[in-house]
Amino acid sequence: MAGKQSTSQNPLRKVERVQTGVRIEKRLLKVLKGLAEYHDMTLGDLIEGIVLHAFEGKAPFSEKNMKKIKDLKSIYELDLTCQDSHKLVES
């Protein structure tokens, strides 16, 4: 994720989390899980961070993270791009 800030500047926020059954493309999930593992965080925490950045129009990943994502996409043969986002159908 983009640069971390100290918790003294941003105190921890209590939230209520819910379990959900989201369907997601298999290779995309593998890349996300790999990135979460790389950062020693849960998949849920990673997704929350990505979405919160997106909601503010901010990029969620540093250059270093983009390199790791590129590597993971290659490993898991993920060739989808944002251009594919509304064109995916079940096989």
pLDDT in tens, 33-59: 999 999 999 999 999 999 999 999 999
Q: What is the mean pLDDT of residues 71-81?
A: 98
Report which DSSP code applies to 82.
Answer: G
Q: Write down the pLDDT at residue 7.
A: 54
CA 50, CA 70: separation in Å to the nearest integer? 16
Specify the pTM. 0.84
Tens digit of each residue's pLDDT (9 = 90 or more) over 5-28: 555 688 999 999 999 999 999 999
Asked whether residue 2 carries a pLDDT value surpassing 70, the answer given is no
Tokens at 9, concatenated: 């500047």
CA 69, CA 59: separation in Å to the nearest integer? 14
